[in-house]
Amino acid sequence: MSQHRFLAFDLGAESGRAVLGTLEGGILSIRELHRFPNDPVTIDRHLHWDVPALFREIKTGMKICAGQTAADIESAAVDTWGVDFGLLDGKGRSLGLPFAYRDLRNVRAMETFLAKCPKERIYEITGIQFLPFNSLFQLQALALEDPGLLAAAADLLFIPDLFSYFLSGSISNEATIASTSQLLDPRRNEWSAELLGALGVSSHILHRPIPPGTVVGQLLPSIAAETGSKDLPIIATASHDTASAVAAVPALGTNWAYISSGTWSCMGIDVSTPLITPATLRLNFTNEGGLAGRIRFLKNVSGLWPVQQCRKIWSEDRPLSYDEMIAAAADAPAFKGFIDPDHPDFLNPPDMPEAIRNFCRRTGQTVPSGRGEVVRCVLESLALRYRAVLEELRQVSPHPIETIHIIGGGSRNELLCRFTAEATALTVVTGPVEATAIGNIMGQALALGLVRSPEEIRAIVAASTDLKTYEPVDPRAWESAYDRFLGVAGR
């Protein structure tokens, strides 16, 4: 049997990794080669991604791969989070560090743009949910604060496009990452001239989106020499991390939903065409691109970000593991208080545990007193938020929803997975943990003609992954908690 190897760079908001994938006989195995932190930097009170540091880590991953892999890899690809972008001048040079989506400059920009173009029209064009950090509003913020920078830009590259350019010298916009921008018409796969005109941004800085699974170029000789790598194709995989993750859901048929669980929770269904209606606008769902022309109909809701930030605060005295935090939460009393995980209070507070306690105090609930109670409050609230999104999905889904697949890092959180089964009264299937890296790799295999369809990819993932199933035991116990949660969250 022939063996095929691929190198995936999966960059998340908290960390990045280089993952080697080996496909042989319909089974995929993966091995993490290099893991590194993703630490944004604050410059002049604004939050930016440290792109040069991340690119150094990508090259380090290539060096490690070249030194450890007996057989040559066949391609490499990068996936990242959505919406953020970098700008190049006419000579292909970066115009500063890209802003990070948690930078607080975007709220005023969103209000400014909505005064020029109503929400209903924007949604009719794009089918994208309204979040203040969408690329549309980030561009409005630049137009307000630094119009000279925009005027100097010759190309806009989303973050994975930017790294593909650094690796290959080829400039392109990949479709799944482009679809997160709230600038793309998903029916036509074209940039909206109307929205760009309202921004006062020239359409020449954007390029017609290419489908995921496209070879964009070859590794630059200088990068190959620096890293000890062979000449290899650089592929635009499903470059948005959630698009890659959803491509790796090991599901059959259609009657399922997914939760891509990590810093964010992306919960939705896989459909063939965009769902853009007054109801989906009212419910604030989004239509983002997927592998092979599929549509990820989903809602971005808060994920494990509050838990991650609690750990950061609590680890100032001594390192604290997630296992310790989850064990303490399991021992804490149930249903003492809830938060709205999507409330602006939790976007980027300086002290997350105190923000959680303040929210409970302000809403007349019992204030969590210990670390276990704080973490349990977050996890129960996330599970109840998933229940709320499930109810909304059922209002507009073209098919029933009978199972929830949880993929990504959050699938390791057994307490959250158990809570989700109880809160939704549905079977929950978890895995793979490394769904994004797996989807990235399978997108490369698709580009090279080694797999033919999303269905074949899902079958390979299912055959290659140890899945775990959670059945609801006493979902009725969560009914009154759900009613309390809705009252606290104002939903």
Tell me which residue has tokens 């989106």: 209
Cβ atoms < 10 Å from Cβ of 198: 16
* Of 106, 35, 42, residue with least CA distance to 409: 35
Residue 174 is classified by DSSP as B
d(CA 423, CA 439): 28
21 CB contacts (<8 Å, ≥6 apart)? Answer: 5, 6, 7, 8, 28, 29, 30, 437, 438, 441, 444
Among 79, 241, 340, 342, the one annotated catalytic: 241
Task: Return the DSSP state at 43.
Answer: E
Phi, psi of 233 (to 5 degrees): -70, 145
Alpha helices in 204-321 (DSSP H): 221-227, 241-247, 278-282, 305-314
Q: Is 78 helix (H, G, I), strand (E, B) or coil?
A: strand
- How far apart CA 163 and CA 95 sit, in angstroms, is 14
Sheet of 403-407, strands arranged across: 286-289, 295-302, 264-271, 256-261, 403-407, 427-430, 468-470
Q: Is residue 382 within 8 Å of residue 263, measured between CB atoms?
A: no
Paired with 17 in beta bridges are: 10, 35
Q: Are 260 and 407 in contact (CB under 8 A)?
A: yes
What span, in angstroms and rounded, lies between the C-alpha atoms of 270 and 290? 9
Is residue 241 annotated as part of the catalytic site, yes or no? Answer: yes
For the CA atoms of 190, 194, 195, 200, the dihedral, rounded to the nearest 10 degrees, stands at 120
Q: Is residue 48 within 8 Å of residue 41, measured between CB atoms?
A: yes
Residue 377 phi/psi, 5° resolution? -55, -45
Distance of CA 151 to the CA centre of its chain: 30
First-to-final CA distance of the chain: 55
> Going by DSSP bridges, is the β-strand pair 256-261/403-407 parallel, antiparallel, or unpaired?
parallel
User: Which active-site residues does the annotation give?
Assistant: 241
